[in-house]
Amino acid sequence: MTGNREVLLVVHPDRDTTRDAARAVAARFEKAGIRLRVVDEEVRDLIEPDGGIGAPCVVVAPEDNPAAGTELVFVLGGDGTLLRAAELARPAGVPVLGVNLGRVGFLTEADSEALDDAVHRAVDGHYQVEERMTIDVMVTVDGFEVARTWALNEASVEKSSRERILDALIEVDGRPVSSFGCDGVLCATPTGSTAYAFSAGGPIIWPDVEALLVVPSNAHAMFSRPLVVSRNSVITVGIDPDGSSAVLTCDGLRHIELPKGARVQVVCGRVPVRLVRLWNGPFTDRLVHKFSLPVKSWRERHARE
C-alpha cells in the first residue's frame, strides 16, 4: 500500500500505559510513512512530547469529519474509547481497529500484549473488515419529530430521577406488547448484547444474527422478559404522559432529555460500523476469552485435584 496514507488515532489519554503505547504507535506509523490525525490537542502533545520530536500529526475537529480520507481509525483504550472512535469513523465508512488497554474490551480486536502485531498488520493492510449492525433512533413528541440519533451498542431509555419510576409502553411493529414501571428499557444490537443489555439480564446474540434486542431494566411486572425481534421490526418505547420524564442515552455518549409523553422509535440502522478483524476465529472463542468463561466440566476440573 503506497501513496499519501493517513490514519486517525483515537486515544484514552488518562493512563500511563496508554501514553507509552500512543508514543510507540505514533513512531511506528511515522516510520512507515503514514501520517496521523487526532481530534484532541492533548493527544498531539502526548505523541509529540518534545515540541514536535516524534510522529508528526494534524488535529482535526470532531465536527469536521476527521476520519474522511483516512484508511483506518486506530484506537488505544477500552470499549468506551472505541465507541467514541466509531462515532467519528461511521460517517466516513472507515474501519475501526481497537487495541484494548482497558478492562474487558469486548469490542476491541487485540489486547495490549499484541499491540506490536496489530500495528504491523495495520501498516501492511493485513486485516479483514466486518460490518456491524447499528440502530437508528427517532424521538417524537405529540407526533412531531424532535431528535434523531444512532447507536452501535444500545439506545437506553431511563428514568431521569432516581426517586421516580419510569412508566413505559413497549410496542413492536405498531402493536403494544407490554407496559410496566421500570428503571429503563434498552434497545440493543447483537454487538450491544454483550454490553449494557447483558448486565441488565439480556441474552448474548452472535454478531451475524440479524436481530434487535429489547431488555427491560428492573421492571415491576410479571411479564418483563427480554425480546428478540426481527431486524426489520420497529420498536417503540412510549413514555407515560402522566408519568415522569426520562432520558435517552445512546452508547453512553449521546444524551437526549425526554419529556412526558415522548416516544422513542428504534429501527435497524442504515449505516453500519466497520470493525477490523485481525484473526479469523469464531465468535464463541472470543466470548470465552473476553469473559474468561469456564469451558471444562466439573468432573474434568476436579479430576486434576
Helix (H, G, I), strand (E, B) or coil at 156: strand
Domain-by-domain residue ranges, the chain?
5-132+273-291, 135-268
- The tens digit of pLDDT for each residue in 196-209 reads 999 999 999 999 99
How much is the pLDDT for 163? 83
| Best CA proximity match to 53, nearest among 44, 66, 63 | 44
- The tens digit of pLDDT for each residue in 166-178 reads 999 999 999 999 9
How much is the pLDDT for 305? 59
| Mean pLDDT of the region 154-175 | 94
Catalytic one of 64, 79, 111, 142: 79
Confidence tier at 303 by pLDDT (50, 70, 90)? low
H helix or E strand, kind and range, residue 170: strand 166-172
**HSE-up of residue 221 (Cα within 13 Å, Cβ side):** 22
Distance CA 184, CA 153 (A): 16
User: Is residue 63 scored above 60 in pLDDT?
Assistant: yes
H helix or E strand, kind and range, residue 181: strand 175-182
User: Is residue 260 scored above 60 in pLDDT?
Assistant: yes
Q: What secondary structure letter does DSSP report for 108? A: -
Of the two residues 221 and 13, the one the predictor is more confident about is 221
How much is the pLDDT for 302? 61
How much is the pLDDT for 290? 85
CATH topology of domain 135-268: Tumour Suppressor Smad4 (2.60.200)
How much is the pLDDT for 133? 97
User: Is residue 282 scored above 70 in pLDDT?
Assistant: yes
How much is the pLDDT for 134? 98
Distance CA 207, CA 281 (A): 13
User: Is residue 254 scored above 50 in pLDDT?
Assistant: yes
How much is the pLDDT for 102? 73
C-alpha cell at 46: 502526548
Strands of 12-51, DSSP E = 34-38
CATH number belonging to domain 5-132+273-291: 3.40.50.10330
How much is the pLDDT for 53? 43
Pick the most confident of 52-56, 188-192, 223-227.
Answer: 188-192
The yes-or-no answer on residue 14 being catalytic is no
